[in-house]
Structure 1
Amino acid sequence: MKKTVTKKTDLQFKQAFSGLKGVDIMAHTYPIEPMLVFTEYHMNMPVFGPHPHAGISVMTYMLPDSQQGFINRDSLGDFSYIEPGGLHVSQAGSGMFHDEFPKETGIDTHGFQIWINHKETDRWVVPKAIHANADEIPEVETDDYKVRIVHGEFDEKYSIYKLVTDISILHIFLRPNKSIWLKAEEMAFVYGLKGLCTIDTTEAQNQTLVNFGKDGNEIEIKAGADGFECMFCTAKPLNEPIVYGGPFVMTTDDQMRKTQQRLANGAMGELKPYKS
């Protein structure tokens, strides 16, 4: 049964800080939970510096068209290069510091920052770093499309790692005038990157967000004459209370107080500013 489009939103990049512009999609505005933040960004200089996270997993997916990648550092000792087409996940759990920034200042990076919610029993899982180079992300290619499996499964191929929250994130390249059918859970959305498409009677283009209703289990995307590139995400919502505290996300106020105390006590480790 096909899912029904419930909302189409044409978005645009906004300057967030010097050196960073983004398209921010948040769970308190759009029905994307268990994703909490889904941001397409362009960044050409260090912006944030070392900062903590807890209660969630934070993914950086560097798009293949990015001019360069990110350096990622964390309080667990990880030092990685997120190359174009690669990804890195900070499974923050009980708390960790990380820092990400373009390898070379002044050269554009293009990708996604994605916050993925944890259910209450996974809020304080052991922190860890998960990394995949571009050639480690499975791809399915036919005459009609290419699909990169950022996380989850497609056509009996699976991502090489598994997050604590079950979610499917696919990067899709549809060839001109071709279509693709996708399996969909209760929460599903399509976010356009390049070209034009039609989903039922809804047209979408770059920076268009298409949300779907809860019912149904499949979606068809039809590309226009120039093809269509998009991100497709789907999952079952956790449907648990969410307490936000800046970079921390918890289920109860008491958990948030304990998390803030852990930060104050140094239990999340330490990450000093980067010196090249």
Structure 2
Amino acid sequence: MSAIARLQRMNHGSHFRAFTLRGGEAAEPIDPFLAVDHAWISGPTFPPHPHAGFSAVSYLFPDSETGIDNRDSLGNRNLIQPGGLHWTAAGRGVVHEEVPAETGKTVHMLQVFINLPRDRQDAQPFALSIAPEDVPVVQLPGAKVRVPLGSFADARSPLVPPTDVSMLDISIEAGAEVRVPVAEGRIAFVMPINGEVWIDGQPYSLDEAKLPVNLPQGEDRVVTFCAKQGDARAVLFSGVPLRQPVYWQGPLALASAEALAEAIEAYQRGAFGKLQPR
């Protein structure tokens, strides 16, 4: 049987609201994921901030009213369009900022924190992006699966991230069903996005603010999605657990207390760099 996790409702000022999932010690039960925010953002919310030790991934749903103006201290600046994804592997440290491209319009997105293997946490930071038109899409009877990360059926994302994860954006029409295999040795969990989605015979929706984690283990695992009374959308996350400690302080997460202290000191002395003026 799957375990049930509760989503936390979070508001930050008047421009940010989210349903949030956080992993516990060593990121259980969603390791290698650290956290997922299903968010709606309608204005500048967070000032420039540091990251180190993990990857910050932004995925915009195709129904987002506007894009994200993304920039970092590596000199990258790009517009994340609705339907696109941007991956910032923070490594030894980077300063990052994201704001809606058009104030007053709402960004509908996932902000996903994904752990880095211990031996890559001190690596040079870098960024990966995929444009909406380059995200593979699998069309099924009454359903559509977008593949921004990982693979499904005969489709594979062109991105090769530093942590082995998959993220499938699944849209289902009423009465349709989608079956997704999950390889042995990978964790899997689902976040409902819109409507009521039935997962392995149980209904889930944002109204109840719960989701299934620790989806059944074993060979030949298949997760079944269906929509019974209306259209629905959900995202299936899966990945290979890293099984390493996680030491958090704000937007920094490292595999040891010593590495965390070193990252804090490096940020304070300016080693993460700085953003160029707008």
TM-score under structure 2 length normalisation: 0.91
Indicate how the Cα distance of structure 1 residues 213 and 109 shifts in structure 2: closer, same or farther if over 3 A, else same.
closer
Structure 1 gap segments, 5+ residues each: none
1:201, distance to aligned residue in structure 2 (A): 3.6
- Measured in 1, the distance between the counterparts of 2:124 and 2:247 equals 20
Instruction: Give the aligned partner of residue 230 of structure 2.
Output: 226
Matched, 1:91 2:89: yes
1:37, distance to aligned residue in structure 2 (A): 1.1
1:200, distance to aligned residue in structure 2 (A): 3.3
Indicate how the Cα distance of structure 1 residues 248 and 171 shifts in structure 2: closer, same or farther if over 3 A, else same.
same
Matched, 1:19 2:15: yes
Q: Percent of aligned pairs with the same residue? A: 29
Q: Deviations over 1:115-157 (max 9, x none)?
A: 0001111112221121111101111112232111120111132
**Higher deviation after alignment, 44-53 or 21-30:** 21-30
1:6, distance to aligned residue in structure 2 (A): 2.0
Instruction: Give the aligned partner of residue 160 of structure 1.
Output: 158
1:8, distance to aligned residue in structure 2 (A): 5.6
- Measured in 1, the distance between the counterparts of 2:200 and 2:261 equals 46
Instruction: Give the aligned partner of residue 133 of structure 2.
Output: 135
Letter paired with 1:152: G
Aligned counterparts, 1:223-262, within 5 A: 223-262=227-266
- Measured in 1, the distance between the counterparts of 2:260 and 2:102 equals 36
Structure 2 gap segments, 5+ residues each: none
1:214, distance to aligned residue in structure 2 (A): 5.5
- Measured in 1, the distance between the counterparts of 2:274 and 2:237 equals 33
Matched, 1:6 2:6: no
1:23, distance to aligned residue in structure 2 (A): 0.6
- Measured in 2, the distance between the counterparts of 1:156 and 1:201 equals 26
Indicate how the Cα distance of structure 1 residues 222 and 30 shifts in structure 2: closer, same or farther if over 3 A, else same.
farther
- Measured in 2, the distance between the counterparts of 1:259 and 1:8 equals 31
Indicate how the Cα distance of structure 1 residues 91 and 171 shifts in structure 2: closer, same or farther if over 3 A, else same.
same
Instruction: Give the aligned partner of residue 190 of structure 1.
Output: 190
SS in 2 for 1:164: coil
Indicate how the Cα distance of structure 1 residues 214 and 253 shifts in structure 2: closer, same or farther if over 3 A, else same.
farther
**Higher deviation after alignment, 28-37 or 48-57:** 28-37
* 4+ residue runs over 6 A deviation: none
- Measured in 1, the distance between the counterparts of 2:201 and 2:60 equals 31
Indicate how the Cα distance of structure 1 residues 197 and 213 shifts in structure 2: closer, same or farther if over 3 A, else same.
closer
Q: Deviations over 1:152-187 (max 9, x none)?
A: 111132111111110110000112211111122541
1:12, distance to aligned residue in structure 2 (A): 6.6
Two-structure CA RMSD over aligned residues (Å): 1.8
Q: Deviations over 1:8-67 (max 9, x none)?
A: 64x474322231111110012862121111001111111112111011110010111111
